[in-house]
Structure formats: structure tokens, C-alpha cells
Amino acid sequence: MGEDSRGVTWEADKERILRTAVPYFEAGKEIVVVAHSYGGIPSTVAVQNQEVAERSARGLKGGFRNIIFLAAFSIPVRGWDLITTFGEGGRQALYDDATEEESKRAFKLITTHSQDAFETEVDFIPSDITIPKSYIICENDRVIPVAVQEQMINGTPGMKAHRLSAGHSPFLGRLKNTVDIVVSVINTDA
């Protein structure tokens, strides 16, 4: 993201996730990924070969033990990208649960995003993930309509669905509700 993002794909975001996670893995920690919005794409790909059982089979400690998609995009078919999947909303759609002040503050923090991140095909998709996977449907989301969120769930075998009465970014205006459902999902899948 940012002015220097031209030509940058989701691969850079995946690498950032792994640079953050691997030191915890090496310390024997197991991580739950909570992927929001576009983050569903690099988070999915970051899980590849880094699940607890896969790492253990290679004699490594730690790993990802669960992934939770929170109003997140997921690509259903290998070789597709975000544009192929969903086709071509500003502040109100992104932050409709937040106060006017919160949404303005958050919107100012947004930087430009590389188009290449949306147009780079993926070769590892949610149905390839073997750890528990859940999707939290945000019922008032105006960025990813409920029908689209449900379609992503239905297209992913083993994906558990949970619902939250919230818009696209519930961690701003509905933080407690968001934390409660994430903790519930983690405890259910433990």
C-alpha cells in the first residue's frame, strides 16, 4: 500500500504476514489468523505449508492453527484473482458501524493500494486449508454483500459460518461484539 505500491502483489502482504508469524512459530506458538477484507487473500496463501500439522511433519514447531475470515474476500478457484471473482463505496460503505468521527479518522489513514494485488492469480485457496476455518458474516456489510459472503462460505468445504450484526469494519464501531465472536470461534474450534 502507499505511493510505492505499483506492481506490488498480494505476495508482499503474504511475506509480511509470515515475517511476523515465523518468530512466534519458532518459539512453539500456534497462531489464529483473523483476516479482514482484502486480507483474506494474502492470509489464505500465507497459511500454505505453515499449518501446525504440516510444520510438525517437517520437524518444526508452531504454526497456524485456525483462520477466521471477517468480512473477507476469498478466491474460490485456483488461478483466479479478485477481479475475476467479483468484477470491478467509499467511507460510508467501509465504516458504516463507526461514528462519523471514527470513520473520518480511519478513512484518512487509507493509502493507495496496488491494482496488481487484485489482479494476481492465487494458487492456494480456502478449500486447500486443512486447519479449522470460519467465516464471520457481517450482516450489514455494504462492501461485501451478505449474499456474496454466503457464496464464499458455500464454495469452501469445511468453512463454518458465524454471523455478526455489523458493517464491513466491525472492529471500529462494534469492537466488543467482534472480539466476543472471534473468541467464541476460537474456543469452538480449539
Q: With cut-offs at 50, 70 and 90, classify the pLDDT of residue 63.
A: very high
Per the domain annotation, does 105 fall within a domain? yes
Q: What is the pLDDT of residues 8-18, one digit of tens each?
A: 677 888 999 99
Rounded to a whole number of angstroms, the CA Rg of the chain reads 16
Per the domain annotation, does 21 fall within a domain? yes
Q: Give, as one character, the DSSP assignment of residue 168.
A: S
Residue 142 pLDDT exceeds 90? no
Q: Which three cell numbers stand for residue 33?
A: 489468523
Q: What range does the domain containing 145 cover?
A: 10-189
β-bridge mates for residue 50, sequence order = none
Place of cell 514447531: 61
Number of domains within the chain: 1
Q: Do the beta carbons of residue 106 and residue 98 sit within 8 Å?
A: yes
Cα 10 from Cα 122, distance rounded (Å):
9
pTM: 0.78
Per the domain annotation, does 3 fall within a domain? no
Q: What is the pLDDT of residues 16-62, one digit of tens each?
A: 999 999 999 999 999 999 999 889 989 999 999 999 999 999 999 99
**Span 88-109, average pLDDT:** 60
Per the domain annotation, does 29 fall within a domain? yes
Q: Do the beta carbons of residue 154 and residue 97 sit within 8 Å?
A: no
> In this structure, what CATH number is given to the domain that contains residue 23?
3.40.50.1820
Per the domain annotation, does 2 fall within a domain? no
What 3-state DSSP class applies to 103? helix
